[in-house]
Structure 1
Amino acid sequence: MGAEGLPVVLLGRRDDVPDLLAAADLAVSAARWEGQPVWLQEALQAGLPVVATDAGGTAQVLGGAGLLVPPGDATALAAAITRVCGDDELRRSLAAQAVSRAERLPDRDAAVAAAVEVYESLVRGTARDDVH
């Protein structure tokens, strides 16, 4: 336990993230800022229910497959975690939604191909307006 007395251990860099996700009951992101939360995509692939702050690209990655709360609102985050942990039906529903959402997200190869396509179009000067 840390100085705050919380039952939390920061694990540092890990090579066994899929195993850790498989052992988890819930994925929680308390980010105040987020770009593309790849780890949440991995959590979805592991079939984890997700509670997260609605920061950056989180809502786009989750696509409705998780509970979102405002960034910086610890009370709302705690309430959502408590709700999911206390409701087996909700937890199972969110887990099923996670798997379904993960199936619709691009895999690593597709994401790399899309990034290369954007880069090459920028180099050629033919970037599309609909590329974000």
Structure 2
Amino acid sequence: MNRKRWMLGAVALAVVAAVALAPNFLPFRDPGLPAGQADGAYVNYCCGTIELRDGEMVLGGGQTVGFELRVDEAGPYLLPDAYVGTWEDRGFEVDGTRTSVKLRLDRIPEPNRIDLPAARGWYRFERKVPVKLPEPR
């Protein structure tokens, strides 16, 4: 009877250990943050405008790339569905065959800037503040 209890205890301990360690080995997906927290238009005069709208990034008024809003030890960032970079100071490069890079935000919600990594440093995109027209009299 003691041997049976010992085996049952060992199996129970193994199950508890497997459940506790499972998140480290199984491909769980981090759902990220609500993408709308970064919505807005961001501009850099080298490349154009990045417009963020509920999980979609519109680059220079043309190409659209999905993204997730996440946070790591360095702070908030956007993780595009494809590689997004600058193209020789003339626009954006989107490449689905390359690994996407993190586009860093200064804060969430309502960031003031997006920093896009490049071969020679970073390109900073500043939030474009909408112009408020005076109220008609």
TM-score class normalised by the smaller sequence: under 0.3
TM-score by length of 1: 0.25
Larger Rg: 2
Structure with the largest fraction of strand: 2
Structure with the largest fraction of helix: 1
Higher relative contact order (CA 8 A, sep 6+): 1
